[in-house]
Amino acid sequence: MRIQPSAMVDRLPTQFFATLVAKTNKAIAAGHDIINLGQGNPDLPTPQHIVEELSEQAKRPVHHKYPPFSGRLELKQAVAHWYKEEFGVELDAEEEVAILFGSKTGLVEICQVLLNPGDVALVPDPGYPDYWSGVAVADGRMVMMPLKAENAFLPDYGQLKPEDLEKAKLMFLNYPNNPTAVNAPVEFFEETIRFARKHEIVVCHDFAYGAISFDGKKPVSFMQVPGAKEVGVEFYTLSKTYNMAGWRVGAMVGNKELVRLVNLIQDHYFVSLFGAVQMAAAKAMTGSQQCVHDLVSVYQSRRDVLFAELHRIGWQAKPSEGSFFSWLPVPEGFTSVEFSDLLLEKAHVVVAPGVGFGPTGEGYVRAALLSSEERLAEAVRRIEKLGLFAR
């Protein structure tokens, strides 16, 4: 029997980085010592007190049954508590918080509950490729918003075409930004709210790296800006803040109607997260945040080592402001794919080609701060031997 995939499956974008993973695995299989700076998977373990809470909660028979479909109230209250403590944001735990199987799931779901075929989603370029997946699943149309260095890697709304704005239903933003590693000022979000009101566009702010910012500067939550709840939502995940990537715990907060719609579609997909995981996540968000401060200090130390070494060899790049990534210009004469291939083949260092995050990402590579200071310095020393940079 011939299996005929649905039109939706055929619309899904090609996973650009699958090729990079295959190249990396081939090099590892050949016996090379690979320093992988191309991934976005936290390298440190979940803090022990969170793991212990999961262990204790897993013993409770109440969690061996189906949890509430829309998530446990304790976790919703913990999310609201975290937003109040960190950003002074008041949230109604029952009506303004949706529990997600990681924020990635919610980014796809928001497209499904808002977009009809042909509706436009405004998407940052470069940006997280799973925004594209959500739009494709909903049969929407993407309009890219270029993020360029001359505009501090913020979108320029004045460059969008009127005919695209007429059909636009939602817009994705992401600060601290993956892949450019910049933060956005409050003034940008104020402008965004005015823009969204004018054109009736739902703002979807991906706040995955909301706890990771450097040099003593705190990122701005979209929710802390007056008017944000009227026009949109913010997606948050515990994956980065608490090294809980494999736990798959996230939340969407903000506009009540959008929370209702996402809860509605999840009623048809899921029976929420394992209750013990939810309670451990609540412990993470309401307990001591010293583990988060310690983690940010680790990433800042790694960033400082990496950029000191890069500048030493003549590779000039602006140090990361937030997230656990760095956004590095490619030397003249190379595309981002050619340069990343060269680093893998000759230096055994993996970086992610910028073009994989969108056309405007060409000319850059993304390197993660997810290796030790020693390995980051070793990666730069290997690249130095290629003689591509002048001191």
Q: Residue 22: CB partners within 8 Å, gap ≥ 6?
A: none
What is the per-residue pLDDT for 251?
Answer: 98
Tokens of 35: 């320093």
pLDDT tens, residue by residue, 32-90: 999 999 988 999 999 999 999 999 999 999 999 999 999 999 999 999 999 999 999 99
What is the per-residue pLDDT for 391?
Answer: 66
pLDDT tens, residue by residue, 307-341: 999 999 999 999 999 999 999 999 999 999 999 99
CA–CA separation, 297 and 216 (whole Å): 10
Stretch 181-186: mean pLDDT, rounded? 98
Answer whether residue 158 shows pLDDT above 70.
yes
- Write the CA distances from 10 to 4, 133, 135, 262, integer angstroms: 10, 11, 13, 24
CA–CA separation, 364 and 177 (whole Å): 14
The three-state secondary structure class of 248 is coil
Domain extent, residue 114, equals 65-286
> Does residue 304 share a domain with residue 276?
no
Residue 216 domain-assigned (yes or no): yes
DSSP annotation of 276 reads: H
Residue 53 domain-assigned (yes or no): no
| Beta pairing class for 168-174 and 120-125 | parallel
Bridge partners for 202 per DSSP = 170
What is the per-residue pLDDT for 325?
Answer: 98
Element (H, E) at 345: none
pLDDT tens, residue by residue, 248-257: 999 999 999 9
Answer whether residue 343 shows pLDDT above 80.
yes
Residue 177 has phi, psi (to 5 degrees) of -95, 135
> Does residue 278 share a domain with residue 328?
no
CATH classification of the domain holding 179: 3.40.640.10
Answer whether residue 303 shows pLDDT above 90.
yes
Tokens of 22: 């295959």
Tokens of 32: 């090379």
Answer whether residue 14 shows pLDDT above 90.
no
DSSP annotation of 225 reads: S
Stretch 137-154: mean pLDDT, rounded? 97
> Does residue 270 share a domain with residue 135?
yes
Q: How confident is the model at residue 390 (pLDDT cuts 50, 70, 90)?
A: confident
> Does residue 324 share a domain with residue 207?
no
Bridge partners for 237 per DSSP = 250
> Does residue 236 share a domain with residue 300?
no
Counting the structural domains of the chain, the total is 2
Cβ–Cβ < 8 Å for 50, 256: no
Domain boundary among 241, 267, 286: 286
The helix/strand count (H/E) of the chain reads as 15, 12
Nearest Cα to 356, choosing from 17, 8, 6? 17
What is the per-residue pLDDT for 19?
Answer: 84
CATH classification of the domain holding 341: 3.90.1150.10
Q: Where are the beta strands (DSSP E) in 89-178?
A: 97-100, 120-125, 141-146, 168-174
What is the per-residue pLDDT for 120?
Answer: 97
Tokens of 142: 């993407």
Give the angle subtended at the CA of 329 by the CAs of 327 and 333, to the nearest 5°.
150
> Does residue 274 share a domain with residue 145?
yes
CA–CA separation, 98 and 92 (whole Å): 11
Looking up tokens 């705190």, which residue turns up?
218
Answer whether residue 245 shows pLDDT above 70.
yes
Residue 173 has phi, psi (to 5 degrees) of -130, 160
pLDDT tens, residue by residue, 351-376: 999 999 999 999 999 999 999 999 99
CA–CA separation, 223 and 91 (whole Å): 9
> Does residue 180 share a domain with residue 219?
yes
Q: How confident is the model at residue 17 (pLDDT cuts 50, 70, 90)?
A: confident
Q: How confident is the model at residue 18 (pLDDT cuts 50, 70, 90)?
A: confident
Residues 160-189 as b/e (b if ≥16 CB within 10 A, e otherwise) read beeeebeebbbbbbbbbbbbbbbbbeeebb
Answer whether residue 271 shows pLDDT above 90.
no
pLDDT tens, residue by residue, 95-133: 999 999 999 999 999 999 999 999 999 999 999 999 999
